[in-house]
Structure formats: structure tokens, C-alpha cells
Amino acid sequence: MEIFIKTVQLLLSLSILVILHEFGHFFFARVFNTRVEKFYLFFNPWFTLFKFKKGDTEYGVGWLPLGGYVKISGMIDESMDKEAMAQPAQPWEFRAKPAWQRLLIMVGGVLVNFITALFIFWMILFKWGESYVPVKSAQFGLHYHEVGKEIGLQDGDIVLTVDDLEVETTNDIAKFILLEDAENLTVKRGNQTVELSIPEDFDQTMIGQEVKNFAGIRFPTIVYKVVKGSHAADAGLQEGDSIVSVNGLSTVFFHELTATLKANKDSEIHLDVYRGDSLVSLNSQVSAQGTLGFNPAGYGKYVDVKIFKYGFWEAFPKGIDMGFDILIGYVKQMKLIFTKEGAKQVGGFGAMGKLFDGTWDWQKFWFNTGLISLILAFMNILPIPALDGGHVLFLLYEIVTGRKPGDKFMEYAQITGMVLLLGLLLFANGNDIFKAFIK
């Protein structure tokens, strides 16, 4: 069921974004009286799931969910319609339009995706606001992934700065290390300040070990609510209990408990629990998912959670800032793709599907949709033939030089671009398959 929900969310998100992207091309084409022969969600080799015609345009839904397309008359595209291109140019065709109009038609999809992302982030902040935990307010400090401990970090430390960049949230630590070529950490350890060196290529170590959560807020393991009928209920856990050990291993902090439970899936364990001032011993079964069946009290009472609510117009500039911050971070990540470990992490539709939760959460759904919209905008504007950016590159050349690239050159460029994109598609999705079934 979880995989089904993730798949539905991914398909819905991509469908929205593909339709909007192609509408961007369609809109400018119609503004400049350019004929659009087809407008399709998904590709339709050999057959089409659904189609109808209105005016000069055939609208339809294909069966291959790898994107979508608009077929614009008089344009060399993935259809490679050489016969039509061999005929004299007609007034309604793309090739008959001035270069500046063709440029707007080509950037229309990217422009709409970019605007869509900013609009989504605006609405997210208006509807739900935003919240975060300043790391400096963490009463019990932070806990760290094992790769962090290899460079000297200890659970309970609070990272204050990465080089000269001030750390505000736990996500900042990994982000600065990966994207800013950082060399040093300034850490608060008890009442002392400690300097730690970041080894060369530590970012490759993090990527290679697929570190998802480099640091997290540390808080005590206190039971807030026991789920009825769960293993925790059967064992006799009660609200307010503080779990201090499992099978003799310390689990004073919640991240210690979760790690220990995952190591004891489908097993019976012995719990030591403080109930008030009394130490109580309990036995419990651990589920196949590595859980007992209770909700922890969380870190809310041990940290200063910053919560911000915005009015409709107040959220607008904040949404723009969020969009640009995410885009800049994504662009900086591109350098990691050209490293050995980074290339292994390139993912396709499987990786995109993992962005979504196994349960439906509208806030996360729209955030991920905004994120993917930015990614689509950026990837499509890359100067690669067969992408919008490739066409834009040739149009800019035409505008600057006054010379239009020949149809034969455009044909070969389109074929080259399609081969490159197909290779990237196979590589990215091959990585997903390798991780899912082999690794």
C-alpha cells in the first residue's frame, strides 16, 4: 500500500508539472499564431489511451509516463518529421516566426515551471507557515551519523559553524559540508569550544554511504502515548515511562532506542523503564518494522521551536526566497554528479518516488511538487540538443549572428541530444534498479 501511495503521488505530481510545462510552450505558440498539432500528457508510441481534437490541435494522454510533449508545426523536434520540414515554410509554422518569438515559445515551459514552483512555495507558507529548531537551543545537543563520529563528532555536541558559515538547523551541517567545500567545524562540547578538521573528500564519504540524516536533535525516550493493541501495550508500557535500556544497552535518548529496535526486529527484548522514581523491568516483542507501538514525547519541551505564520502577501517574498534557496542548492549539487560517488547516486523515477511519503501528506506533496518543478525547469534549460535549452542556445546564436542554423545541422543536433538523454535516462533508472534489487 505504501508503494502504491508513493506511486500515485509521483504520477499526480508529474502529471500536473508536465501539463503546465507543455502549456507554457502552447501558450506562447498561440500568442504568436503558431499552429500546435498535438498536446500530450505522457508519450504515445504505437497507441494512445485517450485523445480528441479541438481546432487544429489534437489533445491526448499517452501510455508511457516519461513526460509529455507539444508538437509545433514547422519545428524540428523528437518527431523528426523530415517530410513536413522539406516543404516551403507556412505563415503559421514555428520556422516562419521571428527569432524572438521562437525564443519565447521555447522558454515558455521552463518559465511556467519556475513560476509554478514559486507559487507553490508561496501557498505552502501561507497555508502552513514554517518552523524549525535552532541547534543552539537543543538542551541535550545533537546526535550524529557514524561518519560524523569518524571525524571526531560526539553525540551531545552542537555544531556552531562550518568554516565561517553559522549553523541554524541540523540540515545546515550536511548542506554546508557537501556544497561549500568546508574544511573545519566549530563545535560546542559541554562548556568547551572544540575545532574539528573535515578530511579531504569527506563529502565523497558521505555520498558513498548515502547519509540521509547526518545530525538530529537528541531528546530522552519518554512515552507520550501507547497504541492500543500494540506490542508496547501488551508489555505494559504506560504514558510517562522513560525507557533507559534495551537488553542492557543504554537507550536514554530516542535515537538510541530506534537503532536498537531496528537491530532486534521480530525479536523479544528486555526493557528497563523508569516509572516515576521506580525502575521497572518489562519484556516486549519488536515488530517486523523495528517498532514497539508508542509515540514518543518528542523534543518540543527540550528545545525552542521557532514557528512562523504568514499572511497572504507576507508569504509571497518568503516563497520566492525559499524557491531561490532551493534552486541555488540544487545547482551547487550538480558538481557532485561528476564525482565517482556522486554518479552512483544519480537516480530516476525510483529516486523521485522516494521523495514522497508512504502516507498522504498534502504539505509534503506540494513541497515535493515545487521541488520537482524547479528541477524540471533547471534540467530543461540546460544547453543540450533535444531539450528546451538546446533550442534556446541555437536561437540565441541566430539572434546574435543573424544566421540561422541549417535544418540538417538541427536534425543531427536533435538526434545527438536524444541519444544523450536516452543514455542518461537508462543510467539513472539503472541506478535505481541496482539499488533496489542488487545492492
Residues in contact with 28: Cβ distance below 8 Å, sequence separation at least 6, in sequence order: 101, 104, 105, 108
| Nearest-angstrom CA–CA distance, 382 and 70 | 19
Report phi then psi at 28, rounded to 5. -70, -30
Which cell is 13 given?
Answer: 505530481
Which pairing describes strands 158-162 and 165-166: parallel, antiparallel, or unpaired?
antiparallel
Per-residue pLDDT reduced to its tens digit, 402-434: 888 776 777 777 777 677 767 766 655 565 555
Write out pLDDT tens, residues 228-278: 989 989 988 889 889 999 998 999 999 999 999 999 998 999 999 999 888
Phi, psi of 131 (to 5 degrees): -145, 150
**Residue 360 has what pLDDT?**
84
Q: Give yes or no for residue 7 having a pLDDT over 70.
A: yes
Give the separation between CA 242 and CA 237, rounded to whole angstroms: 9
Judged against a pLDDT cut of 60, whether residue 200 lies above it is answered with yes
pLDDT tens digit sequence for 112-163: 999 999 999 999 999 999 988 899 888 899 999 999 999 999 999 999 999 9
Those residues whose C-beta lies under 8 Å from the C-beta of residue 196, and which sit 6 or more positions away, are 151, 152, 153, 184, 185, 187
Alpha carbon of residue 65 to chain centroid: 19
Tell me: the pLDDT tens digits for 388-407? 888 888 888 888 888 887 76
Domains of the chain: 2-126+368-438 (no CATH), 135-217 (2.30.42), 223-297 (2.30.42.10)
- Listing DSSP states for 90-130 in one string gives PTTSGGGS-HHHHHHHHHHHHHHHHHHHHHHHHHHHHHH-E
CA distance 113 to 75: 22
Instruction: Enter the C-alpha cell of residue 50.
Output: 485517450
pTM over 0.75: yes
